[in-house]
Amino acid sequence: MKEATVTIASVELEAQISRLAELGLPLAAAITVDDLLYSLPRDMFEREPYEYLLSLLGAEVEREPWGRWFCDRAWSFDTECVYGPGAYVTIARNLCRIAGRPDAFTHLRDHVDLESGEAWLEYTIGGRRQRWTVEVCDDWADTLVVSYLMDDLEQQGRRFFQRDNGQSTHLYFLDEAAAHEMNELLDDRRPLVPVLGR
């Protein structure tokens, strides 16, 4: 007996961009369709609607000028990223960026010593000083500490959602209704789920 195959209808890239913007994931200022097409051909985006676009939104543009993100509410977080001091500061700053609160953490600093296995992260938010002991596991991020950062940043009904992609995870900062609508667009292909473990 032959298995039934599901055919996904093609959706124009510009229509996908417009729909995701309505749901809270607009392209960042000055980012263009040409920037997206520099990374992947149009037919890939349109053959699997929203799949490639959602994945790429959390990345940096792959051409000059460097240091530009495709979307300010998404981040492709490679959890194998802890190589020494500054790693958790970078993680915290990226979470602040996608939460739309770039200055939420003040007095932000970390210590990471992979050889001794000692690491910590500290910062102030809303007048509260936070200090977390970080578990060292080679160069993998301590996802429990990352979840504490997320807890401190979530507000006004918006929270962090993720789509798993192996060692990396795509993070998005949305409200529940937007995440639900995106999952309907994806038709159960690697759905967005709330970040768990908190």
Domain count within the chain: 2
Q: What's the average model confidence in pLDDT over 91-99?
A: 98
- pTM, 2 dp: 0.91
pLDDT value of residue 190: 87
Report if residue 97 sits inside a domain. yes
pLDDT value of residue 198: 45
Q: Where are the alpha helices (DSSP H) in the chain?
A: 13-22, 33-39, 42-47, 51-57, 87-98, 143-153, 176-186
Q: Are residues 97 and 188 in the same domain?
A: no
User: In the predicted model, is pLDDT for residue 83 greater than 60?
Assistant: yes
Report if residue 4 sits inside a domain. no
Report if residue 3 sits inside a domain. no
pLDDT value of residue 105: 98
Report if residue 6 sits inside a domain. no
Q: Are residues 53 and 102 in the same domain?
A: no
Residue 100's domain comprises 78-153
Q: Are residues 40 and 85 in the same domain?
A: no
The per-residue pLDDT for range 133-191, each reduced to its tens digit, is: 999 999 999 999 999 999 999 998 999 999 988 778 999 999 999 999 999 999 878 89
Q: Are residues 88 and 136 in the same domain?
A: yes
